[in-house]
Amino acid sequence: MEVHLRVIHDKKGVIVAICDAGLLGETFREGKRKLEVSPQFYGGTLCAIEQAMEALAHADIANLVGETAIQAAVSERLVDPEAVIYFGKIPHVQMVRL
């Protein structure tokens, strides 16, 4: 499986954005909440899910969108499944390492 991976290094540390390949550019709504999977933020390199999980393991902050990305992150114990929210059927999770 492939996902889009973007890694940003800034003063806050390492920020990782991962989204499933088919979701880039989409907008999802759930009630008053809105999730834009913008190419500017999520549009990194298309890569194997294993490479994305390696980057996520070193992230200080992360945003993930999509079933593939989140299932892998939960399986690797990199995100808490209780933190996942849904926009319709699309899962989203944010992670901050303290």
Predicted pLDDT at 46: 96
Predicted pLDDT at 83: 96
Instruction: Report how far apart, in Å, the C-alpha atoms of 11 and of each of 3, 8, 15, 56, 95 are.
Output: 26, 10, 10, 18, 17
Instruction: Tell me the C-alpha distance between 74 and 29, whole Å.
Output: 23
Intra-chain end-to-end CA distance of the chain, in Å: 30
Instruction: Tell me the C-alpha distance between 72 and 85, whole Å.
Output: 16
Give the global pTM.
0.94
Predicted pLDDT at 96: 94
Predicted pLDDT at 48: 97
Predicted pLDDT at 12: 80
3-state SS assignment for residue 65:
strand
Predicted pLDDT at 98: 83
Relative to beta strand 61-65, strand 13-20 is parallel
Predicted pLDDT at 70: 98
Predicted pLDDT at 39: 96
Domains in the chain with CATH codes: 2-96 (3.30.1860.10)
Residue 18 near residue 57, CB atoms below 8 Å: no
Q: Which residues of the chain have pLDDT under 70?
A: none
